[in-house]
C-alpha cells in the first residue's frame, strides 16, 4: 500500500471508474475481496473461526498460460486462535460461474477426514457436476501438507500457509465502529494486522483453464467461496471486505437497518441485488459520502450495482504479470500481492483516501515469480513457525 496518490495503480483505478460509468463492458473485470472475521457469528474467533472464510484469489498460473490458479484461505490464525486442522464436519467450496448469470456452473468441494496424531488429514477434491469431470468427479485425494496431482492436469495443496493479506484492520475497526474519522492511520502509526508472521489455512487449486470456461471463446469466470456444516451454509465470500465494510450495521451502533451481516453470509450471489442493494446504498450514502444518484459515475446506486453480486470476476485470458501495480490484477481477478484495500478505499471515497499506509510485507515468501522469486506451486508462502507462536496478540475484536 503506497502513500502518495501518484503511486496508485492508476490504470486499474481508471478501469474501475470506467466500468461504473458504463464506458467499458463488464466482461469479467470487476472485483474487490478480504473477509476475515466478518459478522457476529465470528466475533469469537476461537469458537467459530473454523468456519470463517478469509480470502479468495484467482489468477493465471505464473509461467503457464494454459492454467488458472484459484486459492481459498480459511480460519484466521490457525494453530493460534483456530485449529491447525480442518473440522471434518465442515466442507469448503469454490464455485465458478462461467456464463455470467451469477449462478454456479462448477463447484469444487473440499472435504477432510479426521486428523491423525501428527495433525495430517485426508483431503478430497470433488468437482460438481461430476459429468463435467469424468469418470466420477474426484479430481484429487491425498494428505494435507503435500502437493497432490490433479486428474487431467494441475495440482492441489491444502495446508497451513503464510497469510499474504496486508491491511491495517485495527484502524478500520475503529472507523467502522463510529462511522466517522478515517479508516487510515498515518505512516508510522499504521500497522499490518495480518503480518509479518500470520498464517492461514489455504486450499490451492491449479488446473487447465479450459476446464473452467463455458466455451473456448468466453474467457470470463466469476468465483466465490462458501463454508458448509451439516448441509447448512455458514459463510461466503467473493470480493474483499464487502460484508465487513458495506453491509449494515455500519457504524456498528446504528441498527436502523438491523444486523444484516449474518443474512449476507447465508445468502446467494444471484439474490444479492434484490436482498442487499438497499442496505449497501444506505451505507454508501451515510458513511462514505457517495451521492445517491447523479451523473457522477461513483454515485451510491452505480457503486452498489458495481459491487453486487459478491463474485470475484476474472478474465482467464489475462496474462499473469510480475508487476504488482499494473492493470493485470485486481480488479481483474486477484493476485497474492495485489493491494486490494488501497484500491477499495479509493473507490469508496472517490479518491479522498487512497491508502491505509500499509505496504506489502510478504518479501520473498510468495513464490509467483515476483520480487525476485522463481515461480513455484503453491505460490502462497510457507507457514510461519512455530504455528502457536504466529501473530500473538492479534486478538482485537472483529470489525
Q: Can you give the three-state secondary structure of the chain, one letter per residue?
A: CCCCHHHCCHHHHHHHHHHHHCCCCCCCCCCCCECCCCCHHHCCHHHHHHHCEEEEEEEECCCCCCEEEEEEEECCCECCCECCCCCCCEEEEEEEECCCCCCCCEEEEEEECCCCCCCCCEEEEEEECHHHCCCCCEEEEEECCCCEECCCCCEEEEEEEECCCCCCHHHHHHHHHHCCCCCCCCCCCCCCCCCCCCEEEEEEEEEEHHHCCCECCECEEEEEEEEEECCEEEEEECCECHHHHHCCCCCCCCCCCCCCHHHHHCCCHHHHHHHHHHHHHHHHHHCCCCCCCCCCCCCHHHHHHHHCCCCEEEECCCCCCCCCCCCCCCCCCECCCCCHHHHHHHHHHCCCCCCCCCCCCCCCCCCCCCCCCCCCCCCCCCCCCCHHHCCCCCCCCCC
Q: What does the pLDDT look like over 192-206, one tens digit per residue?
A: 988 888 999 999 999
For residue 41, give the C-alpha cell. 457469528
CA gap 232, 303 in Å, rounded = 30
Q: How many residues does the chain have?
A: 399
Considering only the C-alpha atoms of the chain, give the largest distance between any 2 of them, rounded to a whole number of Å: 62
For residue 382, give the C-alpha cell. 510457507
CA gap 121, 81 in Å, rounded = 19
Given a cut of 50, the residues of the chain with pLDDT beneath it are 1-10, 13, 17-33, 395-398
Q: Give backbone dihedrals phi and psi of 12, rounded to 5 degrees, phi first.
A: -70, -40
Torsion sign across C-alpha atoms 187, 354, 1, 395: positive
At residue 15, the pLDDT reads 52
Pick the closest to residue 241 from 271, 199, 283, 204 (CA basis).
283
For residues 125 and 110, the answer to whether their CB atoms sit within 8 Å is: yes
Prior bond of 309 cis (ω within 30°): yes
CA gap 106, 130 in Å, rounded = 9
Pick the closest to residue 205 from 152, 146, 147, 155 (CA basis).
155
At residue 112, the pLDDT reads 98
For residue 370, give the C-alpha cell. 515476483
Torsion sign across C-alpha atoms 77, 78, 83, 89: positive
Amino acid at each position: 500500500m503506497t502513500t502518495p496518490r501518484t503511486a496508485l495503480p492508476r490504470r486499474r483505478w481508471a478501469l474501475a471508474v470506467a466500468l461504473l460509468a458504463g464506458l467499458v463492458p463488464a466482461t469479467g473485470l470487476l472485483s474487490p475481496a478480504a473477509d476475515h472475521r466478518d459478522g457476529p457469528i465470528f466475533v469469537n474467533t476461537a469458537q467459530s473461526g473454523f468456519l470463517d472464510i478469509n480470502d479468495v484469489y484467482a489468477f493465471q498460473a505464473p509461467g503457464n498460460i494454459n492454467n488458472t490458479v484459484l486459492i481459498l484461505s480459511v480460519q484466521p490464525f490457525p494453530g493460534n486462535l483456530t485449529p491447525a486442522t480442518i473440522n471434518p464436519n465442515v466442507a469448503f467450496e469454490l464455485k465458478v460461474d462461467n456464463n455470467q448469470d451469477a449462478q454456479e456452473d462448477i463447484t469444487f468441494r473440499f472435504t477432510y477426514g479426521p486428523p491423525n496424531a501428527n495433525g495430517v488429514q485426508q483431503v478430497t477434491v470433488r468437482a460438481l457436476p461430476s459429468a463435467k469431470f469424468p469418470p466420477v468427479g474426484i479430481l484429487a485425494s491425498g494428505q494435507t501438507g503435500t502437493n497432490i496431482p490433479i486428474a487431467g492436469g494441475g495440482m492441489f495443496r491444502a495446508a497451513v500457509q503464510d497469510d499474504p493479506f496486508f491491511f491495517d484492520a485495527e484502524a478500520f475497526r475503529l472507523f467502522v465502529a463510529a462511522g466517522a474519522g478515517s479508516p487510515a492511520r498515518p505512516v508510522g502509526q499504521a500497522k499490518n494486522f495480518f503480518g509479518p508472521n500470520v498464517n492461514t489455512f489455504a486450499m490451492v487449486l491449479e488446473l487447465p483453464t479450459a476446464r473452467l470456461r463455458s466455451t473456448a471463446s468466453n474467457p470470463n469466470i466469476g468465483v466465490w467461496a462458501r463454508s458448509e456444516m451439516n448441509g447448512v451454509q455458514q459463510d461466503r465470500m467473493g470480493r474483499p471486505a464487502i460484508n465487513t465494510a458495506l453491509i449494515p450495521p455500519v457504524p456498528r451502533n446504528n441498527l436502523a437497518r438491523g444486523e444484516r451481516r449474518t443474512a449476507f453470509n447465508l445468502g446467494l450471489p444471484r439474490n444479492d441485488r434484490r436482498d442487499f442493494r438497499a442496505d449497501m446504498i444506505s451505507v454508501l450514502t451515510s458513511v462514505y459520502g457517495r451521492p445517491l444518484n447523479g451523473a457522477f459515475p461513483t454515485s451510491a446506486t452505480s457503486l452498489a450495482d458495481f459491487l453486487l453480486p459478491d463474485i470475484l470476476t476474472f478474465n482467464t485470458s489475462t496474462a499473469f504479470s510480475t508487476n504488482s501495480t499494473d492493470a493485470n490484477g485486481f480488479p481483474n481477478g486477484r493476485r497474492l500481492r495485489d493491494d486490494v484495500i488501497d484500491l477499495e478505499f479509493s473507490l469508496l471515497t472517490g479518491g479522498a483516501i487512497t491508502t491505509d499506509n500499509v505496504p506489502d510485507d510478504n518479501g520473498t515468501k510468495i513464490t509467483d515469480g515476483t520480487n525476485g522469486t522463481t515461480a513455484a506451486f503453491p505460490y502462497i508462502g510457507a507457514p510461519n513457525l512455530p504455528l502457536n507462536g504466529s501473530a500473538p496478540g492479534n486478538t482485537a475484536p472483529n470489525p
